[in-house]
Structure 1
Amino acid sequence: MSILNIRYASEGDTPGLSKINIDAFAATGKFMANTWPGASRESLLVYKGVVALKHLADPKKHVLATIEPSTGEIVGYARWEIPRGIGYDHEVPQLSEKGAYAVDNQMQFAPKPMNDELYSLFKRFLEEKRKKYSTEDDFVLDFLATSPAHQGKGIGTALLKWGLEKADSKKRRSYLEATLEGYPLYSKYGFKAVEEAEIDFTQHGGEGRQKFIMMIRDPQ
């Protein structure tokens, strides 16, 4: 891939975004498999599409899609949270009536059965770590994933640098929660680990464990 086309995502992009969300973490991520055991791919695609819509409607979230120029396929997906009023405010897309309904009734679209305890645990885990290590002045990389078929082409790096260049220009810190797989990329671009924490899914009716690394990058 010689040219990377990064643009703001739209409501029509949500099927492609949800596909990347599921495919990128199918082999390594344990949250979805433990929270929605036995869920069909189709039901997860619908739910993750609704989650993407929720972020599209958030004025602090910059939802990005990387497009493969020859096919128009979405091959990269990122969500940067940027403080409002510092020069990077963007136009929030107006959702369709159907999209707005889905956002207002998100959990109605969640696959069943669902491990409610694990869902709440994971949400609380992220909220507590962000409250502990980040401030309202920081940039937050909320999500970053590349289509497995297009990894190793610089897509994740480009989406990462999209936000870091803006953070540096405003002399702002950046914060994220890294998986073990993402840690090398973030370390390469200046993020430093501030805590490692592990979720033991077996303690909440699931299987396995997963480690997360909280990381902060000072402006450069």
Structure 2
Amino acid sequence: MPLELHPLQESDVGVAYELMWETFKPDIMGLMYPDGINDAVREWSNSKSLASWRKDPERYKKNKVIDTDLPDDDPFNKIVGVADWEFFPKYRSKEEREKSNAESEKDGLPPLLNETMMKDFMGQSGQAKEEQLGGKPFVYLHILATHPKHHRKGVGAMHLRWGFEQAEKLGLPVYLESSPIGRPLYERNGFEIKGWLPFDGREYGGEKELPHALMLRPAKGEVEAK
């Protein structure tokens, strides 16, 4: 099981989205797309991701972990985990933050989406991020997804180690919102719970609550990931 971390390539974006769907389908993405996803959803999501990445490659960093022991015909091209990071190395004014948010929302919403759920969740997370950080510089771990068949192999820790090293170079904290399943990994690696998103999936057709922890790893923490 030799695991290797590499930068994600543009040609990997489609596979990365499929992996995220498999990872988060039982929880947040299953609520977002209660009827599942189709090619129109994939095209919308992948095009938006690529456009943002191409426009600001210093802000958006995407990585993958591959398992070189997997067969060449593996449906995920040997990718077992992906991570999306955003870097905000300088202070941003309220006007700058509002402009950035408006830019990200200009394309509207993808097809098949549970719009009420998405707007409520994103509204909560955006407000929490504003309250926790405002315009302060930080590194944001937007997505960390490990395929369910490859849990407990150190995939997540490899992604965290890379992010910690980058944050250390910049002297910045790392911030994220964690679902219940990911929280133990983050707590083992120096993240502190700063608050909660009291999100209840049952209000949107789900079977359980889905509270998300607002977690911060202070600047100048340990680089070692466990």
**Counterparts of 2:35 and 2:24, CA distance in 1:** 16
1:123 matched to which residue of 2?
122
TM-score (norm 1): 0.78
Structure 1: distance between partners of 2:20 and 2:215: 21
User: For the residues of structure 2 that align with 1:146 and 1:41, how far apart are their CA atoms?
Assistant: 21
Correspondence for 1:20: 19
CA distance in 2, matches of 1:84, 1:197: 25
**Offset at residue 44 of structure 1 (A):** 4.6
Other-structure match for 2:224: none
Q: Pairwise CA RMSD of aligned residues?
A: 2.5
Which stretch of the first structure deviates more once superposed, 143-152 or 182-191?
143-152
**Alignment partners' CA distance in 2, 1:13 and 1:78:** 12
- The CA distance in 1 between the partners of 2:50 and 2:195, in whole Å, is 31
Shift of 1:69: 2.2
Distance in 1, matches of 2:172 and 2:37, equals 41
Q: Distance in 1 between matches of 2:68 and 2:215?
A: 32
Partner of 1:164: 164
Tell me, yes or no, if the aligned pair for 1:51 and 1:106 is still in contact at 8 Å.
no
Which amino acid letter does the alignment assign opposite residue 20 of structure 1?
L
Asked whether the equivalents of residues 178 and 212 of structure 1 are also in contact (C-alpha less than 8 Å), the reply is yes
* Number of aligned positions between the proteins: 196
Tell me what 2:176 maps to.
176
In the alignment, which residue of structure 1 is the partner of 2:50? Answer: 53
What is the 5 A alignment of 1:75-154?
75-84=80-89, 107=109, 110-112=110-112, 114-134=113-133, 135-154=135-154
1:126 aligned partner, one-letter code: S
Write out per-residue CA displacement over residues 90-140 of structure 1, whole angstroms, 9 at most, x where no aligned residue: xxxxxxxxxxxxx98574xx233x322212112212211211112441111
* 1:23-62 C-alpha deviation (Å, 9 max, x unpaired): 11122x1x33333321345555444433532442343110
C-alpha distance in 2, partners of 1:171/1:196? 25
Q: Read off the aligned partner of 1:81 and give its amino acid letter.
A: E
